[in-house]
Amino acid sequence: MKRQLHLNLFIHGRGHHEASWRHPDSSSLPLTDIRYYQDLAQRAEAALFDSIFFADQLALGGDVAQAPRTWLEPITILAALAAVTSRVGLIATASTTYTEPFNLARQFASIDHISNGRAAWNIVTSWLAAAAENFGGTGQVAHADRYARGEEFMSVVKALWDSWASDAVIDDQTTGAYARLGRIRSINHRGDFYRVTGPLNMPRCPQGRPVLVQAGSSDTGRRFAARYADAVFTAHMAKATAQEFYADLKALAAAEGRRPDEVLILPGLSAMIAGTEAEAERLAREVNELTDPEVGRKRLSGRFGGHDFSHLPLDRSLSPADFPDPASVEAARSRTEVILNLVKRDQPTLRQLLGYLAGARGHFVTAGTPEQVADLIEDWFTNGAADGFNIMPPLLPAQLDAFSSEVIPILQRRGLFRTEYSGTTLREHYGLPWPASVFDDPNFKGELHGAAAGI
Ligand SMILES: Cc1cc2nc3c(=O)[nH]c(=O)nc-3n(C[C@H](O)[C@H](O)[C@H](O)COP(=O)(O)O)c2cc1C
């Protein structure tokens, strides 16, 4: 069989365009209504997407007067979606900087059980400076420190997920034997940031461990992804930078001793789709006209760690001197590089830059016919830029439906995308191996974990 594309649906507000929430083609259900997300999840599953994904920030944005977000907490959303779907993978974002590994390991293992093996965690270190104010208020944790903590966090959660063998549970109601103690072990972690004894207080989850997704793109972020991620989200405004990222990350994964095809790279794609190119462009203009440049200015400031752009006029060409040096930014450093590369290349005015970022915050934005969008996907997929895409419809649900009913059938006819699900778990959809633990080693002599079991 031909190499297969992987498609993830990124669910964000009423669509990825900043002004989508006002457009008549977007849903009018409240963004706190679970039926909205359940409906989208079911549409994604009917269209055979590998997975759906929810991002998260740990502070209210400064633009709430003019723009909503996805308001519900993502892990909680997954539990509600698991109950109304059976195949599609479920990815939620959670932070290594502002949660404890034991809580997080337990929550994602629970979602994996509830969904019968469809859970994934988007590992973030939380770039938004305001988040720090909600967790102790000692100020933004520096980029390098966030990743250092993230490294230790990962070794703790992985050890917790591996702390039960898959055959640890006996559950024999007649003999009264519930579990094999020799197949459950403490982790006894003592590190710089965490002290965790373990084991996890729950049996091993159906996928062994939840699937791990990551989206760091700075040098440190890439090395982190190469070590831990099964799938990598990334934002590119051009195919050339996506190819550079793809080659670099695959090489980094190989240097970590991993098989490059077991680290899937999924760049974002926000496509406005219509029957003709002119109609797609008209629709894109129509949504753009609903944009408020002040929302964009605030979001740009957030990306650059709170830098003040209020003095910049909207209609003069920008130069890199108008921005802080990305190396000094403690927020989403690599996205600031994406933005600065665009400024160097095109010298847009602030209004034009904000217009572009309004589309999908620095991800690839396009407008065209289903055929054109399918051509672009095939081109990136076959020319070393992507293993699949993080599909970011500008308007939800209308542009998800356009993608599902018009673009996916073309990809299927070209033999690039599944025509039915062949597996049931997300690990199977993504073609990932079982994550072996120490218990899978036949020479491992089980050890008792001692008093940690007493409740
Ligand atoms: C598709 C995508 C989704 C992301 N979702 C989140 C998110 O929900 N929360 C968050 O704090 N960061 C999110 N990020 C940001 C990344 O985790 C990362 O901080 C960012 O890409 C900058 O990389 P760097 O930290 O290595 O500089 C996302 C990035 C991408 C590309």
| SS3 per residue for 129-147 | HHHHHHCCCCCCCCHHHHH
CA of 233 to the centre of ligand 1 (A): 8
Q: Determine the atom of ligand 1 nearest the C-alpha atom of 54.
A: 8
Q: Which residues of the chain, if any, have pLDDT below 50?
A: 450-455
334 lines ligand 1 (CB under 6 A): yes
CB 359 within 8 A of CB 394: yes
Structure tokens at 173: 């109601």
Q: What is the pLDDT of residues 145-179, one digit of tens each?
A: 999 999 999 999 999 999 999 999 999 999 999 99
162 lines ligand 1 (CB under 6 A): no
318 lines ligand 1 (CB under 6 A): no
pTM, whole model, 2 decimals? Answer: 0.94
pLDDT at 447: 59
126 lines ligand 1 (CB under 6 A): yes
218 lines ligand 1 (CB under 6 A): yes
270 lines ligand 1 (CB under 6 A): no
338 lines ligand 1 (CB under 6 A): no
Which of 389, 105, 140 lies closest to 246 in space, CA to CA?
389
The dihedral formed by the CA atoms of 215, 216, 221 and 227, expressed in degrees to the nearest 10 = 0
233 lines ligand 1 (CB under 6 A): yes
CA of 215 to the centre of ligand 1 (A): 5
CA of 216 to the centre of ligand 1 (A): 6
Residue nearest to atom 9 of ligand 1 (CA): 56
Which of 157, 152, 132, 134 lies closest to 142 in space, CA to CA?
132
Percent pLDDT > 70 in the chain is 97
216 lines ligand 1 (CB under 6 A): yes
pLDDT at 454: 40
Residue nearest to atom 21 of ligand 1 (CA): 216
Q: Determine the atom of ligand 1 nearest the C-alpha atom of 123.
A: 17
Q: What is the pLDDT of residues 63-84, one digit of tens each?
A: 898 889 889 999 999 999 999 9
Residue nearest to atom 10 of ligand 1 (CA): 126
Q: Give the phi and the psi of residue 93 in degrees, each rounded to 5.
A: -90, 140
390 lines ligand 1 (CB under 6 A): yes
**3-state percent breakdown (helix, strand, coil) of the chain, nearest 5:** 40, 15, 45
Give all strands (DSSP E) within 199-248, no chain letters: 211-214, 231-234
Q: Which residue out of 8, 77, 124 has the highest number of ligand 1 atoms within 8 Å of its CB and is therefore the one to mutate?
A: 124
Q: What is the pLDDT of residues 9-31, one digit of tens each?
A: 999 999 999 999 999 999 999 99
Helix axes 219-228, 143-161, angle to 10 degrees: 0
pLDDT at 446: 62
pLDDT at 138: 78
Q: Which residue out of 57, 335, 336 has the highest number of ligand 1 atoms within 8 Å of its CB and is therefore the one to mutate?
A: 335
Other Cβ atoms closer than 10 A to 244:
14
242 lines ligand 1 (CB under 6 A): no
Q: Which residue out of 122, 223, 389 has the highest number of ligand 1 atoms within 8 Å of its CB and is therefore the one to mutate?
A: 122
Q: Determine the atom of ligand 1 nearest the C-alpha atom of 126.
A: 11
CA of 429 to the centre of ligand 1 (A): 23
Question: Tokens 């959670």 — which residue?
Answer: 94
pLDDT at 453: 40
CA of 126 to the centre of ligand 1 (A): 7
pLDDT at 283: 96
